[in-house]
Amino acid sequence: MINCTVNGTIDFAIERSNGQLIVNGKPCIFDIHKISENFYHIIYDHQSLSVRIKDKEPANRQLEMLVDNNRYLVDISAPSDQILQNAGAPLLQEKPAATIYAPMPGLILDILVKENQEVKPGDPLLTLKAMKMENILKSPTSGTVKKYG
């Protein structure tokens, strides 16, 4: 079973049983088509929904999604996560990053941190414009911002 909390207020328990998706103990029947890597078309309860997975944070068990252009933050946890946390074990080991590289060439529009600032995983670092789109690069680990060069 997977537990999801949407926008910090709405909780769902999701599981699979006999090839069927069960949400909060009730069968959930829907039709889903993958349009591209992070874009889906879903028909549920006679409604057509466009869903785009905007941002994934596997280390934090979070994802940001747009459903018909409405933004939702989803926190995801499995029973094993709670067992590990109760035992004092981290969910994922952080790998320290000496240098963070942009995923593509682009123009830096805004630097969102200062030298010697402490950051946590997922904190925004800078805004990069590439291919006519603005992307916010986020910290993959905890650390301290150092001067480059």
* Residues 11-61: tens digit of each pLDDT: 888 888 887 888 899 998 888 899 988 899 999 888 999 999 887 766 667
The model's pLDDT over 134-149, given as tens digits with 9 standing for 90+, comes to 888 888 778 888 876 5
Q: Return mean pLDDT, the chain.
A: 81
pLDDT of residue 40: 92
pLDDT of residue 49: 92
Amino acid at 14: I
Domains of the chain by start residue, with CATH = 2-86 (no CATH), 94-149 (2.40.50.100)
DSSP state of 140: S
> Which H helix or E strand runs over 80?
helix 79-86
Q: Which amino acid is at 125?
A: L
Q: How far is CA 142 from the centre of its chain?
A: 17
pLDDT of residue 3: 86
Q: Half-sphere exposure of 143 toward its Cβ, with a 13 Å CA cutoff?
A: 19
CA distance 120 to 127: 17
pLDDT tier for residue 8 given thresholds of 50, 70 and 90? confident
**Residue 53 contacts residue 42 (beta carbons within 8 Å):** no
pLDDT at position 102 is 76
Which long-range contacts (C-beta less than 8 Å, at least 24 apart) are formed by 94-101?
Answer: 94/59, 94/121, 94/141, 94/142, 95/140, 95/141, 96/141, 96/143, 97/140, 97/141, 97/143, 99/148, 100/125, 100/137, 100/139, 100/140
pLDDT for 146 equals 83
C-alpha count within 13 angstroms, C-beta hemisphere, residue 23: 8
Exposed/middle/buried for residue 5 (C-beta within 10 Å: 0-12, 13-18, 19+): middle
